A and B are shown apart, each in its own frame.
Chain A
Amino acid sequence: MAETVAGTIIDGEFCPSGQTTAQDLARMQSEKAQNLFEKEKQAEALIPYVQTKASGEQSLDLMISGAHCAGCMAKIERETSALPDILLARMNLSTMRLNVQWRGAPNKAGTIVARLEELGYGAKPFNMELEPVAQKNQATSLLKAMAVAGAATALIMTMSVGIWDGSEMSSTTRQTMHWVSAAIAIPAVAYSGQTFFRSAWGALKNKMTNMDVPISLAVILAVSLSIYETIHGNAHTYFDAAVMLLFLLLIGRFLDMRLRQKTGESAQRLAAMQASTATLIKPDGSVMSVPASMIKPDDHLLIAAGERVPVDGEIVKGRSDIDTSIATGETLPLASTIGDKLYSGMINLSAPLTIKALAVSGDSFLSEISKLVEAGEQKKGKFVRIADKAARLYVPIVHTLAILTFVGWILYSGDLRTASINAIAVLIITCPCALGLAVPAVQIVASGRLFKKGVLIKSGDALERLAKVDTVVFDKTGTLTLGSLQLSNADDISKTALETAALLSRASRHPVARAIAAAAGSGAVADNIKEVAGQGVETKIDGKLVKFGSASYVGATDQTDAQTESWLRIGRAKPVRFKFKDTPRMDAKDTISGLVDRGYAVELLTGDKKSMATETAALLGIDTWQAEVSPSDKLARLDELKDQGHLTLMIGDGINDAPALASAYASASPAGAADVSRAAADIILQGDKLSGLITAVGTAKDAQKRVVENLSLAVVYNMFAVPLAVFGFVNPMIAALAMSGSSMLVTLNALRLKLH
């Protein structure tokens, strides 16, 4: 009992909203009901992912969806462990992965997944090969480097305070302290400075400079100078400054790394959750389920009605209606038959099909798309991050200053040692410590804030680009609308007509049928329904032939076939007209008016029919729109906007949007988008909501403001510090204070973003 109570409290506190969980649960349950027969196939498809250990134990990693809090984690672990023969069930709440180990046959995996689904959680196998091992190792080594630099800083600082005070210290003691500091600093710098040295060396080799060049130079020079001073028994060394510099900069690097890792993991999770299974037809005619990733070109696959096409292919048998919205943006299905090409993500609506898998290169549409994506990326050119821009300005100025200081002091005092000490002091004090922290600190806070609101920013520079856009271009189907139809003239239709249409429609996956089923609510299904691809459905009810479909199909000869209309005819009675419209997302209208209020120009570009586009544009209040545009037309329009001096944010989900997404200045995709589009987009909007877009552009602007503020702070700091260094007033204590002080300042300024 105590546990249940604790669970509820934690649920309330940890789950962002109880509603989400309930929604997820409802979704899971409805999916479960629809896919009863797919279950066995799923279980079979899990087997390739199961790893058998040498000791005979089976191990499987599952991606869990729908778990939001500690209570969910405890429930999943408890319930999974309770199944027989389970040795271990451990969930990682940060990566949402569940590792299950058991004794016995690999096919137990099906039972485990079934149990998880019963509990209301989605579970998909995770391919361990996809795990970014290199990235993970990089994060660990950064963490260790940070620890070493931190420990060294603490030790050397403690001793430095004594040296700085110096009142009671004999020169021998001071000398010893310097030697101890050197013994700590040299290995610490050699270990934890590697990231910077490598990157600086790489840049120099390519005859370029980046932020790491002045950093490495300052650190190496500071340590070398200090060793020289120690050997000659002089009073001032900069060991403390060198290690502290590394420590502070490593914090910045680590934050940056964590941001990329976190978004990378989420993007990967999305991909894994959408990974599908395919039904392979073996040469001997038997069928088996395999993960879609294991399909090879020329494999024959069976696609049942209602299934998503797992890989690109060509129909070799059958005839059916295909929901092509993910590829072309059209809302209404296309009747397809032998020889037609299907792309992964399309949905087979009415009848089973056999397709032959195609290699990507062997297909004109997809290779054209990928060419366009490449072209778009090239056109966009290389975006220069603001920190690198600053570094490009900064490096020559600082290095010139150091040389001038050196020359000036030689002319003034004629002493080579004083001249080099002061020149090096300039390099140390101007080291872009604040600059190195100024940008990542802001970006991590901003991305963290957006992450909580379900907006995934793929990189720091995406945030910088997003802040500058002034025009927002939307795709229609799947982005502004859900890609599903809604009955629009329900008031003109009698209850009996609607119920009769629903009897025929409930079993079908056709968008029109779904709209009818949604309007009529749940109920009975007629027997012996015959579905004619591209035409309609018919059956006999009470001895009368009932037909529901296009005007020509039901015999309403006096009517023309309109795209968004269907007709119901019972026996010889007069046909009843059903009109449909595309449903916009719940928050589409608010999002668009919000964007317009904030001064953005909003445009609609769709591959769908004109009639559908007009309606959506009018409904959502978009004045500028184009319909029936091809992927290259979309690109052309974006170029046109660019030539007019606009920076565009493109939002789209379909394969046909991918080139536009790649070429736009910034781009976003809903989580349900096609793989290519999600890969091309900078931002992913999770959870069926567009409103995240407004938060994203707002946060990006705030972040940009903070970044500029931080860079200005760094400049102001340098304006005070550089003259001190040039004229030889910088001793190690001033260097240490100035550097840590400026870093604190920019970090605190970045944290102000959190307060909004």
Chain B
Amino acid sequence: MTSLIYLVPLAIGICIVGLVAFFWTVKSGQYEDPKGDASRMLYTEDKPIVDEDDL
């Protein structure tokens, strides 16, 4: 049971990191054009996903 002392905080920590990452994807507009983004990788050269000015 002692393993819980670090396992529980670890789980919570991972969850928070995941949440923060998700919030960032929402904020940076990565769900604005699911249809376009899905096919964009087939066509365009590598570039930043979102233009810095649009943030």
Contact = CB atoms under 8 A, between A and B. Distances in A.
Given A6-B42, A169-B1, A158 B23 contact: no
A173 B26 contact: no
A147 interface: yes
A184 B23 contact: no
Interface stretch (A84-92, A297-305, A413-421, A672-680): A84-92
A144 B22 CA distance: 8
A154 interface: yes
Interface in B1-55: 1, 4, 8, 11-12, 15, 18-19, 22-23, 26, 31-36, 38-40, 42-44, 51
A180 B38 CA distance: 39
A93 B35 CA distance: 6
Interface stretch (A69-77, A503-511, A577-585, A698-706): A69-77
Interface string A146-187: 011001001100110000000011100100110010001000
Given A151-B18, A155-B11, A143 B36 contact: no
A748 interface: no
A6 B18 CA distance: 35
A77 B44 contact: yes
A92 B32 contact: yes
Contacts of B4: 173, 176-177
A369 B44 CA distance: 51
A151 B15 contact: yes
Q: Determine chain B's interface SS by DSSP, over half rule.
A: helix
B8 A180 contact: yes
A3 B15 CA distance: 41
B33 A168 contact: no
A70 B44 CA distance: 11
A159 B43 contact: no
Contacts of B39: 10, 14, 69-70, 73, 93
Nearest to B18: A151
Contact of B19 (A6, A147, A168): A147
Contacts of A3: 43
B42 A143 contact: no
A56 to B, nearest CB: 13
Interface string A57-76: 00000000000011101100
A88 B22 CA distance: 27
Contacts of A489: none
B1 A74 contact: no
Interface residues of A, number: 35
Nearest to A73: B36
A155 B42 contact: no
Interface string A267-302: 000000000000000000000000000000000000
A90 B54 CA distance: 12
Interface string A293-325: 000000000000000000000000000000000
A95 B33 contact: yes
B51 A74 contact: no
A441 B26 CA distance: 23
Nearest to B51: A88
Contacts of B40: 70, 73-74
A559 interface: no
A168 B4 CA distance: 13
Given A3-B43, A73-B36, A90 B15 contact: no
Given A14-B39, A154-B15, A173-B4, A144 B33 contact: no
Contacts of A180: 8, 12
A140 B27 CA distance: 8
B1 A170 contact: yes
A3 B22 CA distance: 33
A140 B26 contact: yes
Contacts of A90: 51
A90 B51 CA distance: 10
A184 B33 contact: no
A30 interface: no
A94 B15 contact: no
A74 B34 contact: no
B34 to A, nearest CB: 6
B54 to A, nearest CB: 9
Nearest to B50: A90
Contacts of B31: 143
Contacts of B8: 159, 177, 180
Given A70-B40, A88-B51, A94-B35, A143 B26 contact: yes
Contacts of B42: 6, 10, 70, 74
A6 B43 CA distance: 9
Given A70-B43, A73-B40, A94 B34 contact: yes
A47 to B, nearest CB: 22
A147 B36 contact: no
B26 to A, nearest CB: 6
B43 A74 contact: yes
A615 B16 CA distance: 70
B11 to A, nearest CB: 6
Interface in A463-516: none
Contacts of A173: 1, 4
B26 A93 contact: no
Contacts of A92: 32-33, 36
Contacts of B32: 92, 94-95
Contacts of A169: 1
Given A92-B36, A94-B35, A143-B26, A148 B44 contact: no
B5 to A, nearest CB: 9
A144 B23 contact: yes
Nearest to A74: B43
B26 A144 contact: yes
Contact of B22 (A10, A93, A147): A147
A159 B12 CA distance: 11
A6 B40 CA distance: 12
Contact of A155 (B15, B33, B44, B51): B15
Given A70-B40, A74-B40, 11 more contacts: A10-B42, A69-B39, A71-B43, A73-B43, A143-B26, A143-B31, A151-B19, A154-B15, A155-B15, A158-B11, A180-B8
**9 interchain residue pairs of minimum CB distance:** A70-B39, A93-B36, A74-B43, A92-B33, A93-B35, A94-B33, A94-B35, A151-B15, A147-B22
19 contacts: A3-B43, A6-B43, A10-B42, A69-B39, A70-B42, A73-B36, A77-B44, A91-B36, A92-B32, A92-B36, A93-B33, A94-B32, A143-B26, A144-B22, A147-B22, A151-B15, A154-B15, A155-B11, A169-B1
Interface of B: 1, 4, 8, 11-12, 15, 18-19, 22-23, 26, 31-36, 38-40, 42-44, 51
